[in-house]
A and B are shown apart, each in its own frame.
Chain A
Amino acid sequence: MKRIVYLIVLTLCLTFAFLDHDSNGVAYNPLFHSHDDKTDGASQSISMPCGLGGSENHKH
């Protein structure tokens, strides 16, 4: 029984993610925009998932 409850909680969390996806959509795709980018992969710098979110922000 407990494991079913666990799966239900997980499903609720995933539902929240679905709702977020539904309401926001993919306005900007951090991986795919590199195709449109002609600056030699510079847009990749903002898709880096470290705390500050990219090498651009590391220059402070």
Chain B
Amino acid sequence: MSDHSPHFLSREATVAGPGFSRWLVPPAAIAVHMCIGEVYGFSVFNEPLSRLLGGAAHDPTRDWTIPQIGWVYSIALVLLGLSAAVFGKWVERSGPRKVMVASATCFCSGLVLAGIGVQQHWLWLVYLGYGVIGGIGLGLGYIAPVSTLMKWFPDRPGMATGMAIMGFGGGALIGAPLGVTLMSFFKTATDPGVAATFFTMAGLYAAWMIFGAWLVRVPSADWKPEGWQPAATGSKAGPGKSVSVDTAWKTPQFWLLWIVLCMNVSAGIGILGQASLMCQDLFGVSAAVGGVFAGLFSLFNMGGRFLWSSVSDLTGRRTVFAIYFLLGALLYSLVPWTQKIGSRSLFVVVTALIISMYGGGFATIPAYLRDLFGTYQVGAIHGRLITAWSFAAIVGPQLINYISTAKKKAGVPAAEAYNSTLYLMCGLLLIGLIANLLVRPVHPKHHLASDS
């Protein structure tokens, strides 16, 4: 008996043996993404966190305000992008299992710290726990399975990453109702039950994420799908020659894709942040019904990630992004018309389609990177590209709010103020379209020597 078996967390220990089914890897990725996607449902804690001391009602002299609490979510998203960019190379070196465990440790300990912060009413600890440490866990977990999935599914890379990233989109579908259910279970007359909910979620998510880490495997170096030949995939986008992350981010292709992702996210946020209110203002439905919109969004956000990225395996990445931008611009310009004819159902369908393409953009971009830069360090390159998301998540809403506010101050009616925002979204999508059309294969001088 040899005593030199590799450490459980090492990359060597995750190399799959003969006969391992590659269809066991997507559930591992989904398990992790489904947990970290909980961040999308953070808004369910906003209101309870704003009345921790006041009991049933918000006490403006002692309780935290909603904008103060909103920073928790913003910090987490910024740290998601930064950690994905900074730790990308480590992720590639260490293998998916170690990174998934690191992600689980950060994300769940962040929840525990946030819970202590809530108990003690220390907002800085909630920022540090959920925002900073939890945010690092988000970034690590987000990019951990990406390159592994693309190595397992060279014949369908879009679909493979789409499945994982679909889990992230679906995180709110589970996290938000779970948070509400746990809070109603733990609440008392004086405590909304947020701290106990954070502690419980930390335990549940840790178990789920460690399950994903245990399940994940990387293929052996000489593995390929049975009967598959790179030239015979039928895909219009084959894998590019390998480019290292340090070289990739100095190429124009990287920055064109950065613009593509940034524009797609910025435009999507325009609808995500305002559609519930738009539904109320344009069609006069109640706030409760408008709020239902958020659930529908999550559904299409999730479904679009899987469907559109799978379509990209057939059409090629550039074509599918051209569809996002052209069809997206058309749909945005249709929104005012749906209000004009008074069709609420059509409004819902149009905005749901827009959201599906917003999610689709996230899921398709890793495969686009793999087409251009190969699979060698695609996870690390993806990590650096995620900064476009963080940038858009911060700048996009500010831009939209600025325009809406300026219009309102000028006395423009609500419907027209919305129209200006929607036409701005069309403009952003057209910038994204131009960047997408300018993408060309990477110059051979950037390819790694081992490829030639």
Q: Are A and B a genuine interacting pair, yes or no?
A: no
| B contacts, CB < 8 Å to A | none
| A contacts, CB < 8 Å to B | none
